[in-house]
């Protein structure tokens, strides 16, 4: 499985990237049909700062795609929420 990250201006810590990588690899061990994961972290300038960090994770699965989207006050919480959503979907 390949994992691609799209982040704003390099503002993402290596710790968060490591967390996401570990969780996504764990999902791929649980659900063998995942071929690719795309993680997009971005800031929404039109929303109040307490909820302007967005994490969108798209899993390419053989025959389908799973998408999780979360919004929070920081990227770490948004990433955790998106991973929880993916776990529920799988």
Write a three-state SS string for 36-60. EEEEEEEECCCCCHHHCEEEEEEEE
* 5 or 11, which is more confident: 5
pLDDT of residue 58: 97
Which pTM does this prediction carry? 0.91
Element at 64 (helix H, strand E): strand 64-72
Average pLDDT over residues 47-56: 87
Average pLDDT on 41-51 reads 84
Q: Summarize pLDDT for 15-33 with one digit per residue, the tens.
A: 999 999 999 999 999 888 9
pLDDT of 53-72, one tens digit each? Answer: 999 999 999 989 999 999 99
């Amino acid at each position: 499985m390949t994992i691609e990250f799209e982040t704003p201006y390099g503002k993402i810590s290596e710790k968060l990237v490591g967390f996401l990588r570990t969780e996504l690899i764990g999902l791929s061990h649980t659900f063998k049909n995942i071929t690719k994961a795309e993680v997009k972290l971005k800031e929404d300038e039109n929303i109040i700062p307490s909820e302007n960090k967005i994490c969108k994770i798209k899993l390419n699965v053989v025959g389908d795609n799973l998408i999780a989207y979360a919004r929070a006050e920081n990227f770490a919480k948004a990433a955790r929420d998106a991973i929880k959503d993916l776990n529920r979907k799988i």
